Amino acid sequence: MRRCVAAALVALACAGCAVGEDAPALPAGRAMLARPSIAPSVHVFGDRVTATLDVVVDASKLDPDRVQLTPRFFPYERVGDVRVERKDFGDVTRLRYTMQLRCLGPQCIPSRLASAAGPQEPGRGERKAFRFRPSFLVYDQQPRDRLLQVVRWPTLEAVSRINETQFGLAQAGAGQFAFRAGYRPLPGITWLLSPMLLVLLLVLAALVLLAPAGLLARRAYLERRAAAEPEPEPELEPLERALRLVEWSRDRPDGEDRRRALEALAEELESVESPLADDARALAWSPSSPSQDGATLLVERVREGTNGRPG
């Protein structure tokens, strides 16, 4: 008997350690339950409020990871992302959505409350109540999402930061409150110059400023290109070409090359009526191969007599 009691106590202790807090319960036949709240329910204009939605899901019927919230709080805007916390209690999962809300626009400026004593009654602040459009809890399901529940948020009230009580004594003789909440739109934008005309003028000014730099760059490019290109060699006269051809053929092992070069030199010498034309032809058609020394001597005689030019 004692062993059974000890085992039961150990089991209860282990269960308490595993859970750590009371597990949420679902009504019979329900697969999901949602509880929305907004804190504080009354706030000063411009302050942040916290919207919290606790969703309890039967994990045996719905996948908690596929449950999604579509919040709508116009004219309030979310500050930051929606924070989602998940905690599992066996087959039951609790999802907590937390959102920070704030409204700074003219839609959230509170309106003055009417009073039976008239607008002169002190101690009346300004406030405005907001009833947000319902949000939706949907289930990610193909081909379309399945609507699980419509979430209706509690009413939120915004109170003006200026209260007549604070100024009642100072303005007692004025008969009217010194401050009013209001909204005045900014005047329309006016231009001294059309934006397009201003752009064109700026582009034109930029081109004028860049023109000297472009001319200098073009001049530097042309000078560098001219310096890089070698000057063409002057065209050689026919007699000079024939002499250089003989000089080239002197070092050739084939005597036929010298023979043809000497014959070409003889023809150019005849065209200028040089008496060395016969010597060049005789050397070109000698029985033996024209010697290198003979070709060298002939070239020297021609250069001495004509200085490389027709005489």
Judge whether residue 310 has pLDDT over 50. Answer: no
pTM score, two decimals?
A: 0.47
Check residues 96 and 260 and name the one with the higher pLDDT.
Answer: 96
Q: What's the pLDDT at 222? A: 86
Comparison of pLDDT for 16 and 116, the residue scoring more: 116
**Does the pLDDT of residue 307 top 50, yes or no?**
no
Question: What are the sequence ranges of the domains in the chain?
Answer: 30-113+122-160, 238-306
pLDDT above 90: residue 141: no
Cβ atoms of residues 271 and 232 within 8 Å: no
Give the pLDDT score at 247. Answer: 82
Structure tokens of 95? 């999802």
What's the average model confidence in pLDDT over 117-134?
70
Q: What's the mean pLDDT in 57-80?
A: 90
- Reported as half-sphere exposure (CB side, CA atoms, 13 A), residue 165 has a value of 6
Q: Mean of the pLDDT values across residues 254-275?
A: 81
The least confident of 173-182, 196-205, 298-307 is: 173-182
Tell how strand 156-159 and strand 42-44 pair up: parallel
pLDDT at 54 over 90: yes
207-263 pLDDT, tens digit each: 999 999 989 998 888 888 877 766 666 777 888 888 888 888 877 777 788 878 888
- pLDDT value of position 77: 93
Return phi, psi of residue 231, to 5°: -70, 135
CATH architecture, domain defined by 30-113+122-160:
Sandwich (2.60)
- pLDDT bin (cut points 50, 70, 90) of residue 125 is low
SS (H, E, C) the chain: CHHHHHHHHHHHHHHHHHHCCCCCCCCCCCCEEEEEEEECCEEECCCCEEEEEEEEEECCCCCHHHEEEECCCCCCEECCCCEEEEEEECCEEEEEEEEEEECCCHHHCCEECCCCCCCCCCCCCEEEEECCCCEEEEECCCCCCEEEEEECCCCEEEECCCCHHHHCCCCCCCCCCCCCCCCCCCCCCCCCCCHHHHHHHHHHHHHHHHHHHHHHHHHHHHHHHHHHCCCCCCCCCHHHHHHHHHHHHHCCCCHHHHHHHHHHHHHHHHHCCCCCHHHHHHHHCCCCCCCHHHHHHHHHHHHHHHCCCCC
Q: What would the mean pLDDT of 272-284 be, rounded to a whole number?
A: 82
Cα-based distances in Å from 205 to 155, 191, 197, 201, 218: 60, 20, 12, 6, 20
